[in-house]
Structure 1
Amino acid sequence: MNAVVRPGGLRLVWQEVRHNRLLWLLVFVPVVLVAEHVVHASGQVLFVLSVLAIVPLAALLSHATESVAASTGDAVGGLLNATLGNLTELVIALTALGAGQYMLVKGSIAGAIVTNSLFMLGASLVLGGLRHHTQEFNAATARLQAAMLFIATVALLVPSLVPDEGERAQVFIQELSLVLALLLAATYALGLYFSLKTHKEFFGSARAQEADEGEHEATWPPAVAVAVLAGVTVLVALVSEIFVGSVEVAADALGMSDAFVGFVVVALVGAAAEIASAFSAARKNRLDLSVGIALGSSAQIALFVAPVLVLASYFLGPEPMTLQFWPSAVAMMFLATLTVTLVCSGGRSAWFLGVLLLAVYLTFATALYLLPPRA
C-alpha cells in the first residue's frame, strides 16, 4: 500500500482522541512502557498500568476497524469486523500462549464468551430499558448468533468429557481439538456467508428508521485507518507482553487465579471498546446494534478466535493447546448460551431482562473467584 498519511489524517485522529474521553487513557501507554523498561516497577503496578493502557488501545483499534470496513462494502466490511473485532483479546491470548499460560488463555476464551453474552448484553438491556420503556430488536439475528454459540459450546464440551488420564488420552484430546478447531472455523465462515450474502435480507434492523440517524463518530480515510490499525496493533502486542508477564505476580498479590484473571479481567479489558459501543447504541434505542455486538462477538470468540489459538499453539506454544476446559467453564458457557437464547427469543426487551443476565454473570464470576479450578 503506497498511501501516505497526510497531516489532515493525523488531525482526524487527534480530534477523535480529544472528543473521546476513553482515549485520554492513552497517556498510560508510554507510562507502562517506561515503568517496565526504565523504572522496573513491581508486578502489581505493571498489571494495573497495562490494564489502563490496553483499554484505550482497544477503543482505537475498534474505530480503525470500523473505518476500514466502512470503505470496503458490506461483505468485505463484515469479514473485516469479524476478523479484527476481537483483535485485542487475540493479541493478549497469543502472548499468553507463547508464555505457556494455557489456563489464562482458556479463561480468556470462556470469559469473553460469557462476558459478552451476559454482561455486555445485560447491561445494554438495563441502560436501554431505563431510558426507553420497551425496545425491539431482530430476533432472527439473535437466534442465529445464539445457535452458533450453542454449536461451539457443544464442540467445547466433547473434549472436556474425555478423562485426562495417560499419554494416549492426551494425544487423542489434541487430535480431537485440532479437528474441532477446523470444524468451528469452517462453521463460522459459512455463518458469515449465510448472514452477509445468501440470506442477508433476514438480518436487517428491527427499526427501519434506525439505519444511519447521524451516527456517532465519522470514519477515517482508509490510509489513516490502516496506519492506525498497524501502529496500535504493535502497541497492543508490546503492552500485552507486559500484562501477561505481570499477571502471575498481581494475581498472587490480589488473591486471583489465572482462570479468574482471564475470565473477568482480560475479557472486560479486551472488550472495553465494544462494551462502550453496545451501551451507547442501547441508550439511543438501537438495540439491534447492541445485540449484534454482544452476541456476534461471543460467536466470533467461540468459532474463530478459539480455533485460531489452537492452531497457533502448534507454532507458538511449548505444546499444542487443546479445547479441553475445566468442567465449570464449559457449564458456564453452556448456561450463558441457554440464558441468552431464552431472553432474546421474543425480539422485545425491558430493563429487568438485563438484570437477569447480569445476575447470572455475577454468579459465575463470584463462584470462580471463591473456588478457582485446579491448574
Structure 2
Amino acid sequence: MKQKLFFTILIVTFALSGISHYAGFGPIIEFIFSAIAILFVAGFLGKATESVAHYAGQRLGGFLNATFGNAAELIIAIFLVREGLFDMVKASLTGAIIGNLLLVLGLSVLLGGLKFKEQRFNIQLAGHNASLMILAVIGLFIPAIFVTSEHFTKEQDEFLSLTVAGILIVAYILWLVFSMITHKDVLAEMEETSADHGEEPAWSKGLSITFLVVATAMTALVSEWLVGTLHTFTTDFGLSELFVGAFVIAIVGNAAEHSAAVMLAMKNKIGAAVEIAVGSSLQIALFVAPVLIFISALSGNTMDILFTPIELAAIGVSVFIAKSISKDGTTNWYEGALLLMVYIILGFAFYLV
C-alpha cells in the first residue's frame, strides 16, 4: 500500500513538473513543481539503488549507494556547467559537502541517538574517512591561496585546476582499490553497512536494474527543468546564487541520502548512515567536483577549482566538527544536535550574503 502511494505521488509530481515546463506556466510555478518532483525522484533513485545493491554485494553495494545517491547533484551540476553558471556549481558542490556532513549526518545521529543511547561504528574506517576529508580540504584550499596571492594567469589557473582535479580523482580511485580490494578484509567488520541490512530487496534483480535506469533518466529531466528556472527564482526573491546553490539545490539534491541515512540510523545501523553521509561528501569533493572541471574543459570553457573564502570556510568547519565527532567510533543524540547547529549557523550566514 505504501509503495503504491509512493509511485502515485512520484508519477503525479513528475507529470506536473513536465507539464509546467512545456506548457509555460512560468519559472516560479515550474521551480516549485520541479523542486517537489525531484524530492520524490531522488527517493525513487535511492530505493532502486538500494535494491540493486542487494544483489551486488557489500562493498560494491556501498559504492553504488554513494554513486547513485549523488546522481541528482551531478546531473544538476552538469546542466549548470553547460549554462556557464560556475559560481552556482561551486556553491551547490559546497552545499552538497556541508549538507551531507552536517544535515544528513546530524539528523541521523540525532534521531538514532534519541532511540538508542549510544551507537557504535567502525573506528578504523572513520579514521580513513577523516584523512580523505582533510585531503579534499587541502585540494580545494591550495589553489585558492596560490592563484589569488601569486596572481596566476588564466592559463596557469586552468593548468593548476586540471592538475589538482586529476590528482583528487586518482586519490578517490586509489581509495576504492584500498577499501574494496587490497584491504577488503580489514574493513570486513563493517558488515552493518551491507546493502540489504538483513532485509529482502523491494524488487527482483531485473526490475531493480530497470527502475534504476528509469529513475536516473527521470532525475536528468527534472534536473534540467529545475536549472532552467533558477535565474528567475533568484532574481525575483532577491536571493544570492551562493545561498540557492549551497542550500536550496543541495537540500533538494540530497533527498535520497537524507531519507536513507536517517532510516538506517533509527534501525541502529549508524555505521551505514555514517558511510552514506561521509562517503557521499568524499565522493563529491574527490570525484564529482574534479570530473566537472574536466567536463567544462571539454566544452571549451574551463571552470577553475577556486572556491571562495566563504565556501572554503564552510567546508573547513564542516570537516573539522565531523572529524571531531566521528573519531571515537561512537555517537549520541547531543553530537547530532551540535552538527545541526553548525549547519543552521552557516545557513543564516549564507542567506545574508
What is the TM-score of this pair, normalised by structure 2? 0.93
Q: Which is worse superposed, 82-91 or 106-115?
A: 82-91
Aligned position for 1:155: 139
**Percent identity over the alignment?**
36
Contact map agreement 2:48 2:215 (CA 8 A) in 1: no
Distance, in Å, in 1 between the alignment partners of 2:196 and 2:223 is 35
Aligned position for 1:35: 20
Amino acid at match of 2:107: A
Contact map agreement 1:74 1:196 (CA 8 A) in 2: no
Amino acid at match of 1:272: A
Distance, in Å, in 1 between the alignment partners of 2:192 and 2:301 is 50
Are 1:53 and 2:37 an aligned pair? Answer: yes
Distance, in Å, in 2 between the alignment partners of 1:46 and 1:336 is 32
Change beyond 3 A, Cα 1:179–1:59: same
Distance, in Å, in 1 between the alignment partners of 2:204 and 2:195 is 21
Amino acid at match of 1:119: L
**Residue 226 of structure 1: how far off its partner (Å):** 2.5
1:9-88 correspondence to structure 2 within 5 Å: 17-18=3-4, 20=6, 24-38=9-23, 40-88=24-72
Aligned to 1:176, which of 160, 170, 182?
160
Aligned to 1:365, which of 343, 347, 352?
347
Aligned position for 1:274: 257
Are 1:311 and 2:311 an aligned pair? Answer: no
Amino acid at match of 2:54: A
Distance, in Å, in 2 between the alignment partners of 1:208 and 1:297 is 17
What is the TM-score of this pair, normalised by structure 1? 0.87
Contact map agreement 1:94 1:309 (CA 8 A) in 2: yes
**Residue 204 of structure 1: how far off its partner (Å):** 4.3
SS at match of 2:201: coil
Aligned position for 1:102: 86
Aligned position for 2:248: 265
Deviations 1:275-317 (A, max 9, x none): 111111111111111111100010011111111111111234x
Are 1:238 and 2:221 an aligned pair? Answer: yes
Distance, in Å, in 2 between the alignment partners of 1:168 and 1:214 is 54
SS at match of 1:200: coil
SS at match of 2:159: helix
SS at match of 2:186: helix
Deviations 1:81-125 (A, max 9, x none): 343331111110001110111111101111111000111111111
Are 1:250 and 2:237 an aligned pair? Answer: no
Distance, in Å, in 2 between the alignment partners of 1:270 and 1:98 is 18
Distance, in Å, in 1 between the alignment partners of 2:158 and 2:196 is 47
Aligned position for 1:331: 313
Are 1:128 and 2:112 an aligned pair? Answer: yes
Distance, in Å, in 2 between the alignment partners of 1:209 and 1:24 is 29
**Residue 342 of structure 1: how far off its partner (Å):** 0.6
**How many aligned residue pairs are there?**
353
Deviations 1:184-224 (A, max 9, x none): 11111111111122222333457879996643x62433322
Aligned position for 1:200: 184
Deviations 1:304-338 (A, max 9, x none): 1111111111234x611111011110111111111
Aligned position for 2:127: 143
**Residue 142 of structure 1: how far off its partner (Å):** 1.9
SS at match of 1:34: helix
Change beyond 3 A, Cα 1:263–1:32: same
Contact map agreement 1:142 1:295 (CA 8 A) in 2: no
Distance, in Å, in 1 between the alignment partners of 2:202 and 2:61 is 13
Aligned position for 2:206: 223
Deviations 1:54-92 (A, max 9, x none): 111111112222233332334544443343331111110
Amino acid at match of 2:4: R
Amino acid at match of 2:269: R
| Two-structure CA RMSD over aligned residues (Å) | 2.4
Amino acid at match of 1:30: A
Distance, in Å, in 1 between the alignment partners of 2:81 and 2:332 is 40
Deviations 1:324-355 (A, max 9, x none): 01111011111111111111111111111111
Change beyond 3 A, Cα 1:213–1:55: closer
Aligned position for 1:355: 337
Are 1:321 and 2:299 an aligned pair? Answer: no
Amino acid at match of 1:369: Y
**Residue 132 of structure 1: how far off its partner (Å):** 1.2
Structure 2 unmatched ranges of 5 or more: none
Change beyond 3 A, Cα 1:290–1:57: same
SS at match of 1:320: coil
Distance, in Å, in 2 between the alignment partners of 1:80 and 1:51 is 24
Aligned position for 1:283: 266
Change beyond 3 A, Cα 1:307–1:207: closer
